[in-house]
Amino acid sequence: MVTHTLSLESTALDQDVLCVTTVLPSYLFVFHLNRLLGLSLARSKEDLKLENAADSFAVYEYDCVVMQQSWRVIENHVVSTSPPEQLGMFDRTEQRRLLFPALSQTDLLICVNDMTENIAKKIRSISRVISCSELPKKYNKIKEKLTF
């Protein structure tokens, strides 16, 4: 006897990804997002790390069983300080490293299933958010890398 099953689990490609540019640090942006949308995003115990790199990118997560939504906010850049390679005026230098170099103007990535324009509009209303737009289709490969 043949049994058929129907899988209703969402995949990473079902998720919508928003690119957010803001001057707010990630923890403060998440605080405002939680307050505005009634979420409970919390910092994940594990950060995202690039292969062969010491930098780690913060991840904030929230799974809403009632609304059947999974939220992820991921930092796209970190600023690290290191001693200068040459003798100079400053004892430390800052370097900005990107998780996805193709998205150099994006500070945070928001992954959520069933994104609505109303949610995007509310995110744009957060003080000091410069821009909030959907991930361009030409960068859809990034969605696959955001699965965890």
Domains and CATH numbers, the chain: 12-83+91-145 (3.30.310)
pLDDT score recorded for residue 14: 72
| Integer Cα distance of 79 and 42 in angstroms | 21
Q: Which residue has the tokens 């995003």?
A: 41
This prediction has a pTM of 0.82
| Integer Cα distance of 77 and 108 in angstroms | 8
48 CB-near residues (< 8 Å, 6+ apart): 56, 57, 59, 74, 99, 148
pLDDT tens per residue across all 148 residues of the chain: 454 443 434 444 578 999 999 999 999 999 999 999 999 999 999 888 877 777 889 999 999 888 788 999 999 998 877 666 666 666 667 778 899 999 999 999 999 988 889 999 999 999 999 999 999 999 988 888 876 6
Q: Would you say the C-alpha torsion 11, 15, 20, 24 has a positive or negative sign?
A: negative
pLDDT score recorded for residue 34: 96
